[in-house]
């Protein structure tokens, strides 16, 4: 269970540090901010489906 807690903390930090800029980056390339929010959400959900990824990302 401790491993899951470490994963949750790592993923939470990754999300908090990078969600806002990812939404802004996507919004500049899409028509609506709602689409940007949806795409950013989908991106993080894909990362969440791969538990080994957040810990191995060196330069998000």
| Residues 6 or more apart in contact with residue 30 via CB below 8 angstroms | 36, 39
pLDDT tens-digit readout, 5-19: 656 667 788 888 999
Distance between CA atoms of residues 34 and 43, nearest Å: 14
| Cα end-to-end distance, the chain, whole Å | 26
pLDDT tens-digit readout, 24-41: 999 999 888 889 999 999
Residue 1 pLDDT class (50, 70, 90 cuts): very low
Q: Would you list the domain boundaries of the chain?
A: 2-56
């Amino acid at each position: 269970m401790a491993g899951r807690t470490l994963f949750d903390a790592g993923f939470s930090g990754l999300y908090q540090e990078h969600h806002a800029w990812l939404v802004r980056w996507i919004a500049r390339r899409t028509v609506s901010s709602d689409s940007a929010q949806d795409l950013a959400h989908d991106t993080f959900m894909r990362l969440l489906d791969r538990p080994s990824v957040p810990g191995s990302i060196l330069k998000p």
